[in-house]
Amino acid sequence: MPDARLPQRHTLAWADPSAWDAAGAEPASGLLRAWAAEHRPLVVRRRIETDPAGSVPLGLPLPPEQGKKRLFTALSPQALHGMRPMPALDRARANAPTHWQSVIDRILAVAPDTRVFGSLAWEYLTGLPYLSDTSDLDLLFPMPASAPAWHTLGRELLAIDSRTTLRIDGECVRADGVAVKWRELAGESSEVLLKTLDGAYLMPRAAFMKESFGT
């Protein structure tokens, strides 16, 4: 089971710029220090083997004009001075391209608590140009409280997806941070890939549904 004491994937985290002085002169540390000095967030990512024990694994997807690189670090919890979830989709909507907004409105009508990550989230958070003609709409859907509620939501998302050329990606996320791609869960595969702070693993769909909903 995920460790409830640790922040889960996709959590935004603000770091003290001086934290990288203690972390050492890694190649990306200058960029990360400059980013933190602008009071911009990092994001909690999946843990990798080289992360120090007890640290919070963090990442930063740079905007295309800075090479679209993904930077990685891991800091102690004491180096972080604020955390919060990814932005709500309804708040980030105004930053979306005009032709996305009707799709976003349809999604919000069936899933009003949806949050956003990816290019739209980072453009909203920083004001930097992350979005491009090839960007996807990356979403985080809170896992519904029951299997029937999920089946209804899954059908509605598939219907919205079938009527747009915009790629709607993202995950359904349980309260414990375990996440599954919404397309996998809405599809007919016998297994789903579970993503947690500590890694990813396959589980039979029926077992996941029972674990999540008791059915």
Catalytic hit among 21, 90, 138, 176: 138
16 assigned to active site: no
Q: Has 21 been annotated as catalytic?
A: no
Which position among 3, 21, 113, 136 bears the catalytic label?
A: 136
Distance between alpha carbon 39 and the CA centroid of its chain, in Å?
20
Query: Is the CB of residue 15 less than 8 Å from the CB of residue 191?
Result: no
* 172 Cβ contact partners less than 8 Å away, ≥ 6 residues apart: 141, 142, 143, 150, 179, 180, 181, 182, 185
Nearest one of 98, 95, 49, 58 to 77, comparing CA atoms: 58
CA-wise closest residue to 80 among 117, 43, 115: 43
DSSP state of 88: B
Task: Give the residue numbers marked as catalytic.
Answer: 136, 138
